[in-house]
Chains A and B, each alone.
Chain A
Amino acid sequence: DAKTTQPNSMESNEEEPVHLPCNHSTISGTDYIHWYRQLPSQGPEYVIHGLTSNVNNRMASLAIAEDRKSSTLILHRATLRDAAVYYCILRGPVRIQGAQKLVFGQGTRLTINP
């Protein structure tokens, strides 16, 4: 089953960019890379996802390596509200038969200093 590896924790300063790395060396060609974040006492929140090309939305950017074995979530200008645990997850296509296991890593706890 595809697995992701992330640093346990990272720290950054407010209003600076943050680059959160994720390794997924066993990714298959049809796996999408999803990022979610979980603020304290809340359910996870969708951030961004992509397949091969880099993606941008209002929350963040996702940079995907050419070999797709790693990706980086970029928060362009961190705020105190971005302090959360960030999860990088691989999500594959639908399988009619057989189980597809979705594997979450431990995530990266991001601390933002004022």
Chain B
Amino acid sequence: KAGVTQTPRYLIKTRGQQVTLSCSPISGHRSVSWYQQTPGQGLQFLFEYFSETQRNKGNFPGRFSGRQFSNSRSEMNVSTLELGDSALYLCASSFGTGGTYEQYFGPGTRLTVT
């Protein structure tokens, strides 16, 4: 069974631009979560989608948004990029949402904002 895939793997953007990252979950998984990882703040939860609905949301500004499609694939968008948005963005999928289910992480998208 294929794992979680994220595209692109690496991305360089300029301040003020916007970016869209993509995540394809494991087949059959309906929950997709997004995380931001930086050396200073560690792993921070962005949001979680289940059956195209946002179920959980972390403490990030409205510039960070996401969506999930009917095939469970998910995208996250960051508008008006800031230097501090440089990070590894990780996507994780699980069969369901909530504590019962384990999450499987993708390799991440490394975003650099210059």
Contacts and interface: CB of A to CB of B under 8 A. Distances in A.
Interface of A: 30-32, 34, 36, 42-46, 49, 51, 87, 90-95, 99-107
Interface of B (DSSP majority class): strand
Contacts of B97: 94
B45 A31 contact: no
A99 B107 CA distance: 26
A104 B99 contact: no
Given A43-B106, A44-B90, A101 B56 contact: yes
5 contacts: A34-B102, A51-B99, A87-B43, A101-B56, A104-B44
Contacts of B104: 46
Q: Residue among B33, B102, B107 with the most chain A CB within 10 A?
A: B102
Given A43-B90, A43-B107, A104-B44, A49 B55 contact: no
Given A104-B42, A104-B43, A44 B105 contact: yes
A101 B58 contact: yes
Interface of B: 4, 33, 35, 42-45, 48, 50, 55-59, 90, 92, 97-100, 102-108
Contact of A44 (B43, B48, B59, B98): B43
Contacts of A90: 99
Contacts of B108: 43
A34 B107 contact: no
Nearest to B103: A46
Contacts of B4: 43
B56 A100 contact: yes
A42 B92 CA distance: 13
Given A32-B99, A43-B107, A94 B55 contact: yes
